[in-house]
Amino acid sequence: MLKRPKIAIVGAGGNVGAAVAHWAAVKELGDLVLIDLKGSVAQGRGLDLTQCSPFEGFNNTSFVAGEDPALMKDADVVVMTAGVPRKPGQSREELININAGIVRDICANVKKYAPESILVVVSNPLDAMVFVAKQVTGFPRERVIGSAGILDSARYRTNIALATGASVEDVSAIVLGAHTDKDMVPVTSTATVGGVPLTKILAADKLSEVVEKTKKGGAELTALIGTSAWLAPGAGTSLMVESIVRNQGRLLPCSIELNGEFGVKGCFVGVPVKLGMKGAEKVYEFELSAQEKEAFANSVKANQELMEIAKTFL
């Protein structure tokens, strides 16, 4: 019998979880399970979303929602967005003490109820939380993936489009490394607009401005809104889910445990990953400039330090 993929979103009562559900429903990626500590809020989110379907022409009437983690039983994909959002002036690192325990407990339920699932982590600080998730679930690395570089890369592409006046659809650019303001690595050496190297279009000072704006993208939105962004994080995460459940093989920048790629072993960091029905099916390496290699190494070091802090919660 044919079955639609079962996609569980933990933390669906929050803004990011609701945004993931929104994009997943519009794309009709599968049957949605919305889970939140506030079960009635998850139910309300699902009902509100379903009532959009007469306007937008999608079918979300098969969703279930509540607070019981058993609702995720036998899910094909689990998206974890639960956790306290970042406040203005607060670093992602400061969130470890709050969110590591939340992620640990959720992952114990994922292991219990959805042991064959692919787990997509969105909770911050992202790279440290993916580390916690893998340790608690014991899943192989291809089934524990962090939604990180995909959002940073979207911001990078947007900033390039704004700076050049070109269509964002013609911009190809990627952000590697840590999902933190200080340590992410917007790669300039391979960035192009319509196939033309970005370095041939923007002067060095303008390019530096784009890079710095990208690094501060999360903090900028937090200062403007008063909490973390949710629309773009939700869209990026749903794109990852889409590539998995539809076996698209998209190459997307995600946080994953490296096993020698880019000269790194045992650390979670953002790199280009092929996403398909088995999860993270392959990590792709490419040549970086000397400056980018140094920045990437600093990213790895920063993430290793966060992992050491996160270990105390295991």
Distance of alpha carbon 24 from alpha carbon 39, whole angstroms: 20
Q: Where are the beta strands (DSSP E) in the chain?
A: 6-10, 31-35, 64-66, 77-80, 118-121, 144-146, 171-172, 175-177, 184-186, 192-193, 196-197, 250-259, 265-276, 279-283
312: exposed, middle or buried (C-beta count within 10 Å: 0-12, 13-18, 19+)? exposed
Paired tokens of 153 = 């890369």
Radius of gyration for the alpha carbons in the chain, expressed in angstroms and rounded? 19
Tell me if 118 sits within 8 A of 75, measured CB to CB: no
Tell me if 45 sits within 8 A of 52, measured CB to CB: no
Catalytic annotation on 22? Answer: no
Tell me if 63 sits within 8 A of 50, measured CB to CB: yes
List residues bridging with 269 in a β-sheet: 256
Tell me if 10 sits within 8 A of 80, measured CB to CB: yes
Query: Identity (one letter) of the amino acid at 299?
Result: S
Distance of alpha carbon 170 from alpha carbon 196, whole angstroms: 10
Q: Computed from CA positions of residues 234, 185, 247, 70, in that sequence, does the dihedral angle turn out positive or negative?
A: negative
Q: Out of 22, 155, 157, 179, which one is annotated catalytic?
A: 179
Catalytic residues: 179
